[in-house]
Amino acid sequence: MGHVVSSSVSYCLPDGRPLLADVSFRTGPGSVTALIGPNGTGKTTVMRIIAGEIPCEDGSVVRSGTLGVMPQSIGSVRDSSTVRDLLLSVSPDPVRTAAAALDAIELEMMTDDSAQVSLRYAHALADWADVDGYGHETAFDVATVSALGVPYDRAKYRAVTSLSGGEQKRLILELLLGGPDDVLLHDEPDNYLDVPAKQWLEERLAATARAVLLISHDRELLARAATRIVTLEPGAVGAYDSGHPDAPPAVATAASTTPADASGGSDNTDSDASTSDPCPWSVVEDLGSNSSWSRCDSGPVGRRRISDRIGARVWRVTSRQPLAVVPNFRTHGEGCPQDHQLDTRGRPGVHQVPGRDLRR
């Protein structure tokens, strides 16, 4: 079983501007942790740091177990690659390396049938077997049959541009969710999926025993599948734009309903987003934090910002009572408040309407 621990991770952009500060959280076996926040706060960067693609400036990331990563680009691949290339792109590095070597020697054999080339081909086949390439091809076959309805041998040389965004996404999700990896990193796995596919994804995530860290803006997916919520929020409260040179970095904090709202004990149907955390998931257990806030005047009179770093505050979803929430693409109904924008702290400014479950 795998786990991921992020401890006080900080990161600066190449031009020197701080993007992340003191990002700390943990996810373990059976935990589906959702990393949420406004666009531009560094969610994908956190994923890349955890995956080892880029180093952090400060802090540390500890990870155990094998890793399966689905990048955000899946679903929008429009190059000359094939279905086989797409499946290999999310496979372990040794498998990709062995597959590339095997492809190269097979092309060479088309023009050179010498004994030396044949010997190199035999070595390439042995290397492919050593990295369990044939086992991966079996997994590819299961994924293509489930997602595309055809076996791998018929689909592998099909142009990836012939697949819709939803087919690309479902194909990779079938491969990773059905694979052996202990830790899964999914960057917006629900993008491009239709409603039945999103419901399938919710069920698979809710039933997994592995450690999952995902990024999503779909509130219903978060409500049905996430067991832990971690929010990246801009450090500024007030007049800063995300591209302002003085804007402080994103920090990790909480986004949740209050315990009273989660238990149905509040009758307030129009709570203000600036004084509470109305989100469409029910949270009743606070796992604690090491948050410290300090405010200082900065810039024009009246502008104030949070200048100190905030430690991660993580909440565990322990009950999911039916709440009528402002619709995203899959929830709708008359009489539901229309304010569903993100407030300045990155928390979804969603009003709850008790007594109605619009998701049914």
- Asked whether residue 191 falls in the same domain as residue 312, the answer is yes
304 within a domain of the structure (yes/no): yes
Beta-carbon contacts of 186 under 8 Å, excluding residues fewer than 6 positions away, are: 70, 173, 176, 212, 213, 214, 215
Same domain, 147 and 195: no
CA distance 265 to 3: 35
Range of the domain at 130: 83-169
- Residues 191 and 307 both lie in one domain: yes
For residue 333, what pLDDT band results from cuts at 50, 70 and 90?
very low
Same domain, 53 and 196: yes
Q: How confident is the model at residue 306 (pLDDT cuts 50, 70, 90)?
A: very low
Average pLDDT over residues 60-68: 94
Please report, for the domain that includes residue 47, its CATH number.
3.40.50.300
110 and 161 co-located in one domain: yes
pTM of the model: 0.68
Residue 338 pLDDT level (bands cut at 50, 70, 90)? very low
Judgement on whether residues 38 and 103 belong to the same structural domain of the protein: no
Helix (H, G, I), strand (E, B) or coil at 22: strand
Answer whether residue 353 shows pLDDT above 90: no
Show which of 169, 190, 212 is a domain's final residue. 169
Confidence (pLDDT) at 250:
59
Domain endpoint, select from 169, 194, 213 = 169
Mean pLDDT of 110-134: 95
> What is the signed CA dihedral for 262, 201, 33, 180, rounded to 10 degrees?
150
Is 123:152 a contact under the CB 8 Å cutoff? no
Q: How many folded domains does the chain comprise?
A: 2
Residues 165 and 310 in one domain: no
Identify the domain boundary among 141, 169, 197.
Answer: 169
pLDDT bracket for residue 234 (50, 70, 90): confident
Asked if residue 10 belongs to a domain, the reply is yes
Residue 233: per-residue pLDDT: 82
- Given pLDDT bands bounded at 50, 70 and 90, which one contains residue 140? very high
Same domain, 161 and 234: no
pLDDT over 80 (residue 336): no
Q: What is the pLDDT of residues 166-191, one digit of tens each?
A: 999 999 999 999 999 999 999 999 99
Type of residue found at 74: I
Decide if 345 is inside a domain: no
* 331 within domain boundaries: no
Opening angle at CA 87, ends 64 and 182, nearest 5: 15
- 93 and 54 both lie in a single domain: no
Instruction: Identify the three-state secondary structure at position 19.
Output: strand
State the pLDDT confidence band at 152, using cuts at 50, 70 and 90: very high
Question: Is the per-residue pLDDT at 311 higher than 80?
Answer: no
Residue 325 lies in a domain: no
Are residues 135 and 200 located together in one domain of the fold?
no
Residues 150 and 216 in one domain: no
pLDDT > 60? residue 289: no
Considering the domain boundaries, does residue 58 fall inside one? yes
Question: Is 159 in the same domain as 231?
Answer: no
Task: Judge whether 347 lies within some domain.
Answer: no
Residue at 350 is within a domain: no
